[in-house]
Amino acid sequence: EPEVTQTPSHQVTQMGQEVILRCVPISNHLYFYWYRQILGQKVEFLVSFYNNEISEKSEIFDDQFSVERPDGSNFTLKIRSTKLEDSAMYFCASSAGQGTYNEQFFGPGTRLTVL
């Protein structure tokens, strides 16, 4: 069964450093998403991406964040200068169709720890 994969599973970084979280969405999916989940809290939407551009982004997704689809398979989330409060699980998701009426398949997540 096709699945979304994410690497690394755990990333530890120093405050102020740049990190890139990587995702490989399901191959025939066209819509891609990043979410984050701070420990013990809700899953929060960060950004959606379609046709090589951002479709929608939340208030969390400020200038420190960027997304990219550098090739036909990868979808990345970059945090330019990490802060302590960026420590969270980051989930990538993909869907075949547009928006929330189409099931989003989530990856296993990357745990980001900022020291």
Which residues contact another protein by CB under 8 A?
Answer: 4, 41-45, 48, 56, 58, 91, 93, 98-101, 103-109
For the bound state, the minimum distance from the C-beta of residue 30 to another protein, rounded and expressed in Å, comes to: 14
How far apart, in whole angstroms, are the C-alpha atoms of residue 87 and residue 52?
27
Helix, strand, coil proportions of the chain in percent (round to 5)? 5, 50, 45
For the bound state, the minimum distance from the C-beta of residue 81 to another protein, rounded and expressed in Å, comes to: 25
Specify the residue, 8 or 99, whose C-beta has the smaller distance to another protein: 99
Reported in sequence order, the residue ranges of 38-102 that DSSP labels E, i.e. its strands, are 43-50, 53-57, 65-68, 75-79, 88-95
For the bound state, the minimum distance from the C-beta of residue 99 to another protein, rounded and expressed in Å, comes to: 4
Specify the residue, 17 or 41, whose C-beta has the smaller distance to another protein: 41
